[in-house]
Amino acid sequence: GAVVSQHPSRVICKSGTSVKIECRSLDFQATTMFWYRQFPKKSLMLMATSNEGSKATYEQGVEKDKFLINHASLTLSTLTVTSAHPEDSSFYICSASGTGRETDTQYFGPGTRLTVL
């Protein structure tokens, strides 16, 4: 149990375009979803926290107009990187926590490799 999926697993796009990444909790209801970014050989950096049906809370230094997060249902959150630039190239990982045994533990998706040309 506690499976989180992400789609796509990798995406290559041109500079200036927007990219949407989906995060789904497959077997539990995710009341809270988190979006992280990982730079090479670095730890995971939390970008934002989203609760179902409300606006996301962004970490300091993360541009909310650039990284649009939507958490429309208890099983789906999306991250849209708007007007992507090469410096946005990174590994983006979502996680989800829910109710029951998933309350305190975050379960992570497999990640999405974004490359902006």
The single residue listed with the structure tokens 């109710």 is: 99
The token duo for 48 is 């934002």
What whole-number distance in Å separates Cα of residue 48 and Cα of residue 35? 5
Tell me the three state secondary structure of residue 86: helix
Q: Which residues sit at the interface with another protein, rule CB under 8 A? A: 2, 4, 6, 32, 34, 42-44, 46, 49, 91, 93-95, 97, 104-111, 113
From the CB of 40, what's the least distance to another protein, in Å? 10
Smaller CB separation from another protein, 82 or 115: 115
Smaller CB separation from another protein, 37 or 88: 37
From the CB of 96, what's the least distance to another protein, in Å? 10
What whole-number distance in Å separates Cα of residue 79 and Cα of residue 114? 12
From the CB of 48, what's the least distance to another protein, in Å? 10
Report the amino acid identity of residue 101: R
